[in-house]
Structure 1
Amino acid sequence: MIVSAQTYNIILIAIVILIAIRPLYTRLIKKQGNKHDWMFALLFLLLPINWYTPTFITVTSCGKFTKEVLLFPGEKDGVSYSYGWNNYIINKSLNTVAFEYIFYGDNKRKEDELDKIITPGKIEKVNEVTIDFVFEEEAKSVSTKSSGATKTTLYCM
């Protein structure tokens, strides 16, 4: 099941509320101290859920795209999808789209950091959790605590 990014965020907020409602009720309304505060630890479950849930960026034309999220493994456009630390770029436009890594400072390309060209009608899997610049100009420099950074960009060719 694939849903829009907005629906996904609403689901995450609902999960947070459902987890937090009982301990907050016990502490604030019943005045029973921290009897159910352990339930707040369940909020840590949202970290792997959010990190290992693939995102779909469907490009419809240069600069226009939709962002969707995979809730349950399934199929879209004839391709099977499952959980993992990645994005899928679906090019439904008439333009070729490029995915690139940008290196700032002393950072160098790693083995698994491959630039990709996505031709019209193709689907490409990208092993990144987020794409930093989607159809926007990349930053000339970034502020880091170390000697460099690596960012990603998606643009029309």
Structure 2
Amino acid sequence: MIVSAQTYNIILIGIVVLVALRPLYTRLIKKEGSKHDWMFALLLLLLPTNWYTPTFITVTSCNTFTKEVLIFPTQKDGVSYSYGWCNYVINKAQQPLAFEYVYYGDNQPEEDEKNQVIQPNGIGKVDEVVIDFIFEPKAKSVSTKSSGATKTSLYCL
């Protein structure tokens, strides 16, 4: 099952409200202390769930794309998708797309960081949780607490 990014965020907020409702009720309304505070630990489960849920970026033309999130393993356009720490870029545009890593400061490419070109009507799997610059200009510099940073960019060729 694939849903829009907005629907996915609404689902996450709903889960947070449902999990937090009872502990907040017992602490604030009934004034019973920490009887159900253990339920807040369930909220920690949302962090890995959110990072391990793939995102689909479907590009229909340069600068026009939709963002969707995989909730349950499924098939889309004849391809099977499952969970993982990645983004899928589906290129339905007429131009090829480029995904690249952008290095700032002293950062150097790592072994698993490979730039890719996604041909028209092709699907690219990007092993990153977030693509920082989608059809927008790359920043000339970024502010970091260390000596460098690595960002990602998706653009039309």
Q: Which category describes the TM-score, using the shorter chain as reference length?
A: over 0.9
Question: What's the CA shift for 1:151?
Answer: 0.2
Measured in 2, the distance between the counterparts of 1:106 and 1:77 equals 41
Matches within 5 A, 1:1-150: 1-150=1-150
Identity, % of aligned positions: 75
Distance in 2, matches of 1:65 and 1:148, equals 30
SS of structure 1 residue aligned to 2:84: coil
Looking at structure 2, the residues matched to 3 and 51 of structure 1 have their Cα atoms a distance apart, in angstroms, of 16
C-alpha RMSD of the superposition: 0.5
Shift of 1:95: 1.1
Q: Which amino acid aligns with 1:18?
A: L
Q: SS of 1:9's equivalent?
A: helix
- Post-superposition shift, 1:30? 1.0
Q: Work out the CA distance in 1 between the residues paired with 2:108 and 2:31.
A: 55
- Which segments of 5 or more consecutive residues in structure 2 lack a partner in the other structure? none
Deviations 1:84-128 (A, max 9, x none): 000000000111110000000010001110001011100010000
CA deviation map 1:2-51 (0-9, x unaligned): 00000000000000000000000101111111111111111000011000
Residue 130 of structure 1: how far off its partner (Å): 0.4
2:42 and 2:69 map into 1 onto residues whose CA distance is 22
The CA distance in 1 between the partners of 2:28 and 2:118, in whole Å, is 54
1:94 corresponds to which letter in structure 2? Answer: Q
Distance 2:68 2:19 in 1: 25
Distance 1:30 1:47 in 2: 29
The letter of the residue matching 1:11 is I
1:63 and 1:153 map into 2 onto residues whose CA distance is: 13
Other structure's SS at 2:80 match: strand
**AA matched with 1:149:** A
